[in-house]
Chains A and B, each alone.
Chain A
């Protein structure tokens, strides 16, 4: 199985900050990398697919980049509603594994 490793596991930031979360795959996954946001008690929400494509309705302060095995999610200016847990997922090869998550805290 392809292992997905996110860093950091947790992150403290303030409203207005720019933050970056990194995701590394154990092998090349081309551009098959997705990012999700999960708020407590809620289902995950797709933010970015294909490494850098913004899902419809997602604010433009979210962006993704990378290819091969190294990827990043950037939030350009944190808003209060962005404090949540973020997961990367590879959809190159089944099982479509997730990273362990990055908890973004105030």
Chain B
């Protein structure tokens, strides 16, 4: 059974940093692109970033470029999102997502909540 379990969310002040983690199991992690998608309270879904199987390619939405870094450790079956210079508008539930056919998100974690507030 595919499982994605996010952790690392919490309350952080504006300008602060957080590192999210996603522990993957039930599939060969190193064979799949992975993504982060977020959802602000009461709002829709926003794709944040993705990373190629070996970590050599990454892509970001403009609003997080230069502040967020996606990475992975295939030996540990783990995906990460380093978030720096956090802003109030980064407040959201962050989902770890496995990339399936046609770059769809075929499996999602339960999400971790990030709140940026003073």
Binding site for B on A (CB under 8 A): 1, 31-32, 34, 36, 38, 43-46, 49-50, 53, 55, 87, 89, 91, 94-101
Interface string of B82-118 (1 = CB under 8 A from A): 0000000000000100001111111111110000000
Add 13 more A-B contacts to A44-B105, A49-B104, A98-B46 (CB < 8 A): A1-B62, A32-B102, A32-B103, A34-B104, A44-B45, A44-B108, A49-B101, A89-B105, A91-B102, A91-B104, A95-B59, A95-B60, A101-B44
Dominant SS among interface residues on chain B:
strand
Is A89 a contact partner of B47 (Cβ separation < 8 A)? yes
In the complex, which of the residues B46, B103, B108 has the most CB atoms of chain A within 10 Å of its own CB atom?
B103
**How far is A1 from B46 in the complex, measured between Cα atoms in Å?**
12
Count chain B CB atoms within 10 A of each CB in A49, A87, A95, A97 and give the residue with the most: A95
Taken together as a complex, chains A and B put the C-alpha atoms of A93 and B101 apart, in Å, by 15
Is the pair B100, A89 in contact by a Cβ cutoff of 8 Å?
no
Interface string of B21-50 (1 = CB under 8 A from A): 000000000000001010000001111001
Contact between A98 and B62, CB atoms less than 8 A apart: no
Shortest beta-carbon contacts, A-B, top 6:
A91-B103, A49-B104, A43-B108, A94-B59, A34-B104, A95-B61
Partner of B105, one of A1, A46, A53: A46
From B44, B61, B103, B109, A87 is in contact (CB under 8 Å) with: B44
Q: A45 CA to B117 CA in the complex, in Å? A: 30
Q: Is the CB of A55 within 8 A of B95?
A: no
**Contact indicator B45/A87 (Cβ below 8 Å):** yes
In Å, the complex CA distance between A36 and B37 comes to 13
Chain A residue nearest to B98 in the complex (CB): A46
